[in-house]
Amino acid sequence: MAVQTDCKSVTKEIKALQLHDKPSAVGIVKEPLGMDGIRLNIAITGESGSGKSTFVNAFRGLCDDDEGAAPTGLTESSMDPMPYFHPNYPNVTLWDLPGIGTLKYPADTYLKDVKFEKYDFFIIMSDTRFRENDVKLAREIQRMKKKFYFVRSKIDNDLRAERRNRDFSEERTLTKIRDDCVKGLRGLGVESPQVFLVSSFELHLYDFSLLQQTLDKERLKIKRETLLFLFPNINPEIIRKKKKTLKSTIIGYAFGSAAGAAVPLPGLSVAVDAAVLVGAVTHFVHEFGLDIPSLKRLSARTGVHYDDLQAAIVSQLAAVEITAELLLKVVAQLGSVAALIAAEEVSRFIPFIGIPVSAGLSFTTTYKILILILDKIAEDAQRVSERVLV
């Protein structure tokens, strides 16, 4: 995942290059500059039948009948806490917790029984009104200084039922459901409750975006960026934030390129630059969900044909394997950086000052190339999102 990167973040690269270890240098800069060591555990809980398993699947971009999806049904699916890894981010685990208040998991000992300390925050779900057990759980979570969020699920079912009325108003129905939940929670002693209305089959509708924005504002320390990239591209604001976060990593990639240019070994600068660009662009494509597996999951979940999603892509960099050859073709079309590339190659042969100048030009060239490519990939993400939401 994306984090702010500065000069210190490329210490490994520079040391490897100073030792003239070309294979190590190229290998190191291929590693993603990200949050691979950060683990995030999200607990999805609530009473039996509240739609926890379907929500877990939706959050992971899966259909209920996909391989590896959490089992769903009319009966309680989760007899014990079940971990489900995010397909793009193996360090992120969504825990489908058993219903609160069952014989095996009574409300009074629920958090202890499900080992609450392992979870970063809790989503408490209900498909009707939130009940006393939900409030007991919220109080205990709060007492233990962790975050929780109330999610009212299956909103699509409620709206479908209400549409039979001749005076149906979607806005009025949503307001009534939200007010009813808030009133019920206040009646049970919750001060200023916030309830998010969600349909796991239509994440772009209702309050899912608001839930994402709330989690972002809460800023769960370093894990806030992990959260950002878990959310699908359901609106332009999410895409904009992803782009901003990814932009902050580009300086790290540029320093890796500069380090390669600073060592006078034949062919090293070219090899490092290719490794940096392939690693960075692969990272961008993956984080925007434009790699082939992610697009196929999106197609299956939304019903939009995979070919139609591909047709929305203009940059040539999504839904393909990123290779050095492909990037050379794309970079050749970026006329604004052609002069920088030429100047870098010439400067390497200038006595005494050539290497420092080459390193500086390599930094600038890589930085500009990646900024331009990131713009193009973000635009692709927006076009794919618009195609899905038509």
Residues 272 and 205 both lie in one domain: no
| pLDDT reading at 129 higher than 60 | yes
Residues 222 and 289 both lie in one domain: no
Q: What is the pLDDT, as a whole number, of residue 225?
A: 63
Instruction: Find the mean pLDDT for residues 321-327.
Output: 83
Residues 226 and 300 both lie in one domain: no
Per the structure, the complete domain to which residue 344 belongs is given by 7-34+249-389
In a domain, 331, yes or no: yes
In a domain, 145, yes or no: yes
CB 48 within 8 A of CB 99: yes
Q: Which of 178, 200, 231 is the last residue of a domain?
A: 231
CB 48 within 8 A of CB 128: no
| pLDDT reading at 170 higher than 70 | yes
Residues 114 and 220 both lie in one domain: yes
CB 35 within 8 A of CB 90: no
In a domain, 139, yes or no: yes
In a domain, 238, yes or no: no
Residues 272 and 187 both lie in one domain: no
In a domain, 193, yes or no: yes
| pLDDT reading at 37 higher than 80 | no
> H or E stretch including 96?
strand 92-96
pLDDT tens readout for residues 101-124:
777 888 778 888 888 888 888 999
Q: What is the CATH number for 213?
A: 3.40.50.300
CB 158 within 8 A of CB 178: no
Residues 30 and 135 both lie in one domain: no
Residues 358 and 259 both lie in one domain: yes
Split into its structural domains, the chain has a count of 2
Instruction: Find the mean pLDDT for residues 318-325.
Output: 83
Q: Which of 174, 202, 231 is the last residue of a domain?
A: 231
Residues 160 and 130 both lie in one domain: yes
In a domain, 306, yes or no: yes
Residues 223 and 335 both lie in one domain: no
Task: Identify the bridge partners of residue 123 per DSSP, sorted by sequence position.
Answer: 44, 149
Residues 57 and 206 both lie in one domain: yes
Q: What is the pLDDT, as a whole number, of residue 359?
A: 55
Residues 312 and 259 both lie in one domain: yes
